[in-house]
């Protein structure tokens, strides 16, 4: 290829046991735990799943520090189960959804909450509240074949050793197969896509110098320090 500028490097996530998972796109499910939806002022019984995106290069891997982002004074943490897609498809059924999963990881959907609040009030997109640099820290991916269906398990976030978020992935409003089926009706999923599946209650501010640790049963922990 005769590129007129050097092409960007491929974003990739380490795999437990070796290798890298190349990232194509990042999709995120909004308000997928009932208690979190209510703490954000919404009735979860009244809405179908909805999605937003982050650029692939927002991932932060290897336990690297996350620089405190510009243009915000209210950075929030959201711990999430991340699903890595290994086989593409469109109009995927719930019954076959798990055959498209390559693996799972613990992740953080970091949010400029003050910018999101302004965008919501003005009926504007959330892009700059969600898709900023380093806004998607993620732990090592574990192949699905090593974990089984992963339908339940603790999902916890601590900040400086204190528990902030504590739930169970069994409490998702929309299950992983339902999420995959719903999203695949909107876009064709492709190998390399990541899906952040929503966060339990307890989202709160992460300040400069805080150490965040995300833990999900069966997955490597994710540790991220918020830099200056």
Residue 129 reports pLDDT greater than 80:
yes
* CATH label, 12-225, candidates 1.10.3720.10, 2.170.120.20, 3.90.850.10, 3.40.50.1370: 3.90.850.10
Cβ atoms 169, 81 nearer than 8 A = yes
* Percent of the chain clearing pLDDT 90 (strictly above): 90
Residue 36 reports pLDDT greater than 70:
no
Sign of dihedral through CA atoms 123, 46, 183, 74?
A: positive
Per-residue confidence at 194, pLDDT binned at 50, 70, 90?
A: very high
**Residue ranges per domain, the chain?**
12-225
Provide the pLDDT for residue 111. Answer: 98
How many Cβ atoms from other residues are within 10 Å of residue 151's Cβ?
Answer: 13
Provide the pLDDT for residue 148. Answer: 85
Per-residue confidence at 44, pLDDT binned at 50, 70, 90?
A: low
Q: What is the distance between the alpha carbons of residues 135 and 196, in angstroms, rounded to a whole number?
A: 12
Residue 37 reports pLDDT greater than 60:
no
Provide the pLDDT for residue 166. Answer: 97
Is the full-model pTM beyond 0.85? Answer: yes
Q: What is the distance between the alpha carbons of residues 197 and 121, in angstroms, rounded to a whole number?
A: 25
Helix spans in 122-190 (H): 127-130, 176-184
pLDDT for 131-177, tens place per residue? 999 999 999 999 999 998 899 999 999 999 999 999 999 999 999 99
Longest Cα separation, the chain? 52
């Amino acid at each position: 290829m005769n590129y007129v500028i050097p092409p960007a490097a491929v974003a990739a996530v380490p795999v437990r046991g070796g290798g890298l998972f190349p990232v194509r796109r990042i999709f995120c499910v909004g308000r997928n735990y009932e208690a979190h939806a209510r703490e954000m002022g919404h009735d979860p019984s009244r809405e179908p799943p909805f999605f937003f995106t982050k650029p692939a290069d927002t991932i932060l891997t290897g336990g690297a520090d996350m620089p405190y982002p510009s243009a915000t004074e209210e950075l929030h943490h959201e711990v999430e189960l991340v699903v890595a897609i290994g086989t593409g498809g469109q109009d995927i059924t719930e019954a076959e959804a798990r055959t498209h999963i390559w693996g799972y990881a613990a992740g953080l959907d970091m949010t400029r909450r003050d910018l999101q609040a302004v965008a919501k009030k003005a009926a504007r997109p959330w892009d700059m509240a969600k898709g900023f640099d380093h806004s998607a820290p993620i732990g090592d991916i574990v192949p699905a074949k090593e974990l089984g269906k992963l339908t339940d398990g603790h999902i916890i976030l601590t900040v400086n050793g204190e528990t902030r978020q504590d739930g169970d992935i069994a409490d998702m409003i929309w299950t992983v197969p339902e999420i995959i089926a719903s999203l695949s009706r909107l876009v064709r999923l492709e190998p390399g896509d990541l899906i952040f599946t929503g966060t339990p209650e307890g989202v709160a501010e992460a300040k400069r110098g805080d150490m965040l640790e995300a833990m999900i049963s069966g997955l490597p922990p994710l540790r991220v320090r918020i830099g200056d």
